[in-house]
A and B are shown apart, each in its own frame.
Chain A
Amino acid sequence: MLAEKARKALAKKAAYGSDLLLPHGVSTVEERSIDSLENLDKRLKEASLLSGFNSDESGRAGSYFQKNNAVIYQKVQEAYRGQVEIMSIEEALAKYSWLKEYYWRNVPVDMDKYTAQVELWGRGGYFIRILPGARVKQPIQSCLLMDEAGECQRVHNIILAEEGSQAQVITGCTTSPSVKEGYHLGVSEFYVKKGAHLTFTMVHNWADDFHVRPRTGIMVEEDGTFINNYILLKPLRSIQSYPRAVLQGARSRARFNTIVYGRHESEIDLGSLIELNGRGTRGEAISRSLGRERAKVMMRGRLKARSNDAQAHLECRGMLLSEEAEINAVPELWVEGAPQANLTHEAAVGPVNEEAVEYLMSRGLSRDEAVSAIIQGFMQVGIQGLPDVLNNMLADILSFDSGS
């Protein structure tokens, strides 16, 4: 049934983003699983580290590692057994017959050719379940890595935060340094149950010739909170994504923090959609983007209120660091049958304030130091709990060097 729907959608273009001609079928590259992340190739350790994955697993509640199409490692730390479950999506579907209820519920399988591809030829993706009432203090980490040039990685992830649970998940999607081209299609479905609190941080580190099409749907029940942090700092060929969070339950909340550094020839089209259906729901979608060289950045945002006491705010701000870069901000506020709802937005695109740069230079900072200080501050949107390695990488990448 799903497969049939998917097949019919194989040629269906996405609503946004450049249309990709994708390979069909699954590659036959075989991978072997490993017992310990210590046995992970040094090269891959380093690549994964830059997307926030800690291969010595210290300070992590659990780990999931997928290389190309194969899950090579998955583990829940002793202290968190009975609180967290981590496994591949295939294993989870085999283990839990009820999971079918969640599979493709938040993201339609026939949304476009990318979801269709994932259904037909997807391999892996994680199933992470935080059990009812569990307070998982340390982050759960995952890494989806590509180590095969020109391949297409298709994954289907489901995160289930059961009632009253609390957790933070950090996912890095990355390539090994030698791999410069490929496709990544990632379907992610999130279910945040009553009173649960889930923070999801995704770091994307691709390479200049990568096309990336994530498809994300989030459902939040009563009193649930979903926080989504998305970080894209390295160039790629193209990415298009428009995650949709549905605040179904009363008093549920969602916040999206998105920071994007568009470089080289990157074509970036990102948005966040929050649907405020339940009573007293609150939403916030904050994005910051930098455009340099010939990057094209499209920042979308849409708030849809269907409840009279819903409140939400949308903020898209872009800074242009070169003449040729493009940033478009497209904020949308929709009120559907909820005339009392309160939606606001703020959008601004402009160059770095030259007057501010000169002011800082008059205090002895070089031009590059002045621009760095401004853009580093600009990209601070209050993302909490980033691992040090990511904070350092952020500072490093946002150190503006006009010569590079």
Chain B
Amino acid sequence: MLKIHNLKVKVKGEEILKGVSLEIPRGETHILLGPNGSGKTTLLKAIMGMGSMHTTGSILLDGEEISGLSIDERARRGVGLALQRSPAIPELTLDSLLQMIGNKFGSDGMEEKIDSLNCRYLLGRGVNENFSGGEMKRSEVLQLLVQEPKVVLVDEPESGVDLENIVVIGEALKRLLKPSVKEKKRAALIITHTGHILNYLNADKGYVLLHGRIICSGNPRDIFEAINRHGFEGCMECEKCN
């Protein structure tokens, strides 16, 4: 469903991604691992078309090139991103934003979605305005739930989130990624450092991004375990890669 080939990204003249290729079939969830600053967020933003970056290479959504499209066009075609850090928009209430997203993608089950992420008390506030870490993550995932994207990109859904809220977010993502029979299946790429989210999702594949390159891919649990034991540098020496 999502196929990225030889994606290179330059930010302010500096090459952050140095030729990333990956493919996520419909119905699969992939996990992106990698140390701070390795380029994970940059990759997700590049798929969404955000940030003033210079990109080359190809991004195919259902076989169609989307890398030249505007952000909103990509969103309308079914790419959705929950950011690691989202900007505050004091001018716009969360309520109005949800309505606008609903107008674009449909508002079915809106009320129930709001409650499932425990966001009702935030509706009258400016989007992300003085939201706590956990509130911001919940509101991001709520927006994805309304958007119902084909390709679900999630940047560190559990960082800065307490255990109780990890359950809330994990269950919501699970529901989004395991749609009922009549719904279309999605593809997901999720960034995680802690791996907590793996308790809720059935991840099919994992990648390790290091210095702008994918240096390893495979069973996400195995990779995660190896990283826990040897760190990312250990990854470099892993026999699988050599």
Interface band, chain A: 20 to 34
Interchain CB contact under 8 A, B91 and A369: no
Q: Which of B136-162 contact A (CB under 8 A)?
A: 143, 147
Partner of A355, one of B87, B90, B104, B126: B87
Given the complex, which residues of B lie within 8 Å of A99, measured CB to CB? none
With an 8 A cutoff between CB atoms, is B70 at the interface? yes
- Complex Cα–Cα for A217 and B181 (A): 70
Interchain CB contact under 8 A, B92 and A369: no
User: Quick one: given A358-B50, A358-B71, are A363 and B97 in contact (CB under 8 Å)?
Assistant: yes
Partner of B91, one of A363, A365, A377: A377
Given the complex, which residues of B lie within 8 Å of A334, measured CB to CB? none
Partner of A359, one of B80, B83, B96: B83
Given the complex, which residues of A lie within 8 Å of B76, measured CB to CB? 364
Query: A373 — nearest CB in chain B belongs to which residue?
Result: B92
Interchain CB contact under 8 A, A364 and B147: yes
- Complex Cα–Cα for A370 and B75 (A): 13
Interchain CB contact under 8 A, B100 and A361: no
Partner of B75, one of A356, A361, A374, A378: A361
Interchain CB contact under 8 A, A364 and B72: yes
Given the complex, which residues of B lie within 8 Å of A365, measured CB to CB? 72, 100, 104
Query: Whole-angstrom distance from the CB of A399 to the nearest CB of chain B?
Result: 13
Interchain CB contact under 8 A, A358 and B101: no
Query: Whole-angstrom distance from the CB of A378 to the nearest CB of chain B?
Result: 5
With an 8 A cutoff between CB atoms, is B48 at the interface? yes
Interface size for B (C-beta < 8 A) is 29
Interchain CB contact under 8 A, B105 and A364: yes
Partner of A363, one of B70, B75, B90: B75
Interchain CB contact under 8 A, A358 and B86: no
Query: A353 — nearest CB in chain B belongs to which residue?
Result: B87
Q: Which of B18-47 contact A (CB under 8 A)?
A: none
Interchain CB contact under 8 A, A359 and B104: no
Q: Which of A369-404 contact B (CB under 8 A)?
A: 369-370, 373-378, 380
With an 8 A cutoff between CB atoms, is B89 at the interface? yes
- Complex Cα–Cα for A335 and B70 (A): 52
- Complex Cα–Cα for A299 and B88 (A): 25
Query: A379 — nearest CB in chain B belongs to which residue?
Result: B91
- Complex Cα–Cα for A214 and B80 (A): 51
Query: B126 — nearest CB in chain A belongs to which residue?
Result: A377
Given the complex, which residues of B lie within 8 Å of A364, measured CB to CB? 72, 75-76, 101, 104-105, 147
Q: Which of B66-100 contact A (CB under 8 A)?
A: 70-72, 74-76, 80-81, 83, 86-93, 96-97, 100
- Complex Cα–Cα for A359 and B155 (A): 14
Partner of B96, one of A355, A362, A373: A373
- Complex Cα–Cα for A359 and B76 (A): 14
Query: Whole-angstrom distance from the CB of B191 to the nearest CB of chain A?
Result: 16
Given the complex, which residues of A lie within 8 Å of B72, measured CB to CB? 361-362, 364-367, 370
Query: Whole-angstrom distance from the CB of A112 to the nearest CB of chain B?
Result: 37
Given the complex, which residues of A lie within 8 Å of B93, measured CB to CB? 377
- Complex Cα–Cα for A360 and B143 (A): 11
Query: Whole-angstrom distance from the CB of A394 to the nearest CB of chain B?
Result: 14
Interchain CB contact under 8 A, B51 and A358: yes
Interchain CB contact under 8 A, B83 and A377: no
Given the complex, which residues of A lie within 8 Å of B81, measured CB to CB? 362
- Complex Cα–Cα for A366 and B70 (A): 9
- Complex Cα–Cα for A376 and B91 (A): 8
Given the complex, which residues of B lie within 8 Å of A355, measured CB to CB? 87
Given the complex, which residues of B lie within 8 Å of A370, measured CB to CB? 72
- Complex Cα–Cα for A374 and B91 (A): 5
Interchain CB contact under 8 A, A377 and B104: no
Query: Whole-angstrom distance from the CB of A360 to the nearest CB of chain B?
Result: 7
Interchain CB contact under 8 A, B89 and A353: yes
Given the complex, which residues of A lie within 8 Å of B48, measured CB to CB? 362
- Complex Cα–Cα for A361 and B80 (A): 10
Given the complex, which residues of A lie within 8 Å of B126, measured CB to CB? 377
Given the complex, which residues of A lie within 8 Å of B86, measured CB to CB? 359
Interchain CB contact under 8 A, A356 and B50: no
Query: B72 — nearest CB in chain A belongs to which residue?
Result: A361
Query: B79 — nearest CB in chain A belongs to which residue?
Result: A362
Given the complex, which residues of A lie within 8 Å of B51, measured CB to CB? 358
- Complex Cα–Cα for A164 and B143 (A): 50
Query: Whole-angstrom distance from the CB of B79 to the nearest CB of chain A?
Result: 8
Interchain CB contact under 8 A, B71 and A361: yes
Given the complex, which residues of B lie within 8 Å of A362, measured CB to CB? 48, 50, 71-72, 74-75, 80-81
Interchain CB contact under 8 A, A367 and B70: yes
- Complex Cα–Cα for A353 and B81 (A): 19
Given the complex, which residues of A lie within 8 Å of B105, measured CB to CB? 364
Given the complex, which residues of A lie within 8 Å of B104, measured CB to CB? 363-365
Interchain CB contact under 8 A, A378 and B91: yes
Given the complex, which residues of A lie within 8 Å of B101, measured CB to CB? 363-364
Query: Whole-angstrom distance from the CB of B180 to the nearest CB of chain A?
Result: 23
- Complex Cα–Cα for A110 and B83 (A): 60
Interface centre among B100, B105, B143 (most CB of A within 10 A): B100
Q: Which of A341-359 contact B (CB under 8 A)?
A: 353, 355-356, 358-359
Partner of A377, one of B70, B87, B92: B92
Q: A362-B81, A364-B147, A365-B72 are in contact. List 19 more A-B contacts (CB 8 A).
A: A356-B88, A358-B51, A359-B83, A359-B89, A360-B100, A362-B75, A362-B80, A363-B97, A363-B143, A364-B76, A366-B72, A370-B72, A373-B92, A373-B96, A373-B100, A374-B89, A375-B91, A376-B91, A377-B90
Top 10 closest pairs, chain A to chain B, by CB? A377-B91, A361-B71, A364-B104, A364-B75, A361-B72, A355-B87, A378-B91, A356-B89, A356-B87, A374-B91
8 contacts between A and B (CB under 8 A): A353-B89, A358-B51, A359-B83, A362-B48, A363-B101, A365-B72, A367-B72, A377-B92
